[in-house]
């Protein structure tokens, strides 16, 4: 499994950050501009990546104040897992966003850059929204 991570700290209470991330309706605000046809509920989201693929994701696990784990709701082009890990330190919430993807060598060459950019974009967007 190939792993792409991004970390940030936000000067907000853990519960506020967790509540935002626990609702998939809020995740549209975290996505880059090349995401289209977004539809979501609290638990699932469907969208297309411009000129690439359509994805359906669901929140598989919620551990209040600690973790949100997201997996494909339908068969994706490659196995994928997204994970938001949270912890509270003094007056801020530390966030680790991880994208895990099973990529062949060819897919790794093509997708590694965009997946790392996605991880960084989502955490920076979260920072901009909540900070």
* pTM (predicted TM-score): 0.93
CATH superfamily placement of domain 2-130: START domain (3.30.530.20)
Residue by residue, pLDDT tens for the chain (131 residues) are 899 999 999 999 999 999 999 999 999 999 999 899 999 999 999 998 877 778 999 999 999 999 999 999 998 878 899 999 999 988 899 999 999 999 999 888 888 898 999 999 999 999 999 98
Quote the CA–CA distance of 83 and 67 in Å, as a whole number.
7
User: For residue 102, what are its two tokens?
Assistant: 């099973």
Domain boundaries, the chain: 2-130
8 A C-beta contact, residue 76 and residue 61: no
Q: Please list, residue by residue across 102-126, b when 16 or more beta carbons sit within 10 angstroms of its beta carbon and e when fewer do.
A: ebeeeeeeebeeebbebbbbbbeeb
**Looking at residue 128, what is its pLDDT?**
97
**Looking at residue 81, what is its pLDDT?**
97
């Amino acid at each position: 499994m190939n792993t792409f991570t991004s970390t940030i700290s936000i000067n907000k209470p853990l519960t506020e950050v967790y509540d935002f991330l626990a609702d998939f309706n809020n995740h549209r605000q975290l996505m880059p501009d090349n995401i289209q046809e977004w539809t979501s509920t609290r638990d699932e989201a469907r969208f297309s990546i411009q000129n690439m693929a359509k994805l359906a994701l669901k929140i598989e696990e919620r551990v209040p104040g600690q973790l949100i784990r997201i997996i494909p709701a339908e068969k994706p082009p490659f196995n994928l897992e997204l994970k938001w890990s949270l912890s509270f330190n003094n007056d801020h919430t530390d966030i680790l966003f991880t994208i895990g993807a099973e990529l062949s060598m060819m897919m790794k060459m093509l997708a590694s850059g965009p997946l790392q950019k996605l991880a960084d974009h989502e955490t920076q967007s979260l920072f901009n929204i909540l900070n």
